[in-house]
Structure 1
Amino acid sequence: MNYAEIRAWFLGSYYSYCRLKLRHRSAWGDGESEVGFAYSELESSFDLPVEKLMLEVSALILSAGRSSESVKKYHMDAALELVEQIDLSSMLKELPPEEAADLVEDLRLLEIC
């Protein structure tokens, strides 16, 4: 899957969870988040390290600094570990240029590389 597909899938789960919360008029619990729900729905869906990296980056971007430090650390550590496993420059060459640019911009925004 490419980065746009993973983001779209993530946002679809995010959206569905928010709709569910509204439909049931349920209050948000401590530590509960739409990002956490979407991540848990997708975390076992990918085999390739680059796909897993894209998922971690999506979770971090969509949290936009609103997650707890422990959650942020979890996703940052996972992303950094995946970057170490991947030959990032080679992987980026395999992506369409727009996809590679989006991923690189997000990685830089998160100060991962």
Structure 2
Amino acid sequence: MSGYRVDYYEIKKDFLECCYDGCRQKLKNIARGTSGVPQDDDGVGYASYQYEEVYQLPIEQLMLAVINLILMAARGPEHVEMFHRKKIKQILSAHPLDELLKELGGEEREDLLCDMKALQLI
């Protein structure tokens, strides 16, 4: 694996900004009486949709799936959590975690591993 890679911090920052934008748009739509967004949407669903197929590298895809699960904080919906867990399992089946982690610096690696441990992925 070579070429440009987006780091974990940048993916988190961009994804959270997108969540924020989704929530802000939801509020604008509610004010106009035109909200098509479910009341319980916290912006993660919006951001997930916006980030579909954005990242091509397996490590980036792994990071994005982990970020999604962290932001869900076990609040569901269960089928969405299972979708992200399945994606992670597919990535790790095709690319051993040790190989993926070789691309990361120490702090970035530790942050990702900490999140994966919190999610009981490792």
Q: TM-score, normalised by structure 2?
A: 0.84
| Mapping for residues 16-95 of structure 1, pairs under 5 Å | 16-25=21-30, 26=35, 28-29=37-38, 32-95=41-104
Letter in 1 for 2:46: F
How many pairs does the alignment contain?
Answer: 113
C-alpha displacement of 1:93: 2.7
Identity of matched residues, %: 36
> CA contact under 8 A between 1:43 and 1:55: conserved in structure 2?
no
Give the Cα separation in 2 of the matches to 1:16 and 1:97: 31
CA contact (8 A) 2:48 2:68 kept: yes
Unaligned runs of 5+ in 1: none
Question: 2:7 matched to 1:2?
Answer: yes
* 1:28-85 deviations in Å (ceiling 9; x for gaps): 5267441111011112111111111111001000111122111111111111111222
Structure with the higher helix share, 1 or 2: 1
CA contact (8 A) 2:23 2:43 kept: yes
Tell me the CA shift for residue 90 of structure 1.
Answer: 2.8
Q: Distance in 1 between the 2:65 and 2:116 partners?
A: 10
Amino acid across the alignment from 1:77: K
Letter in 1 for 2:26: K
Corresponding residue for residue 14 of structure 1:
19
- Which residue of the partner structure matches residue 120 of structure 2? 111
Which structure: larger Rg? 2
Larger displacement relative to structure 2 (55-64 or 87-96): 87-96
CA distance in 2 between partners of 1:33 and 1:5 (Å)? 21
User: Distance in 2 between the 1:57 and 1:85 partners?
Assistant: 17
Equivalent position amino acid for 1:11 in 2 = L
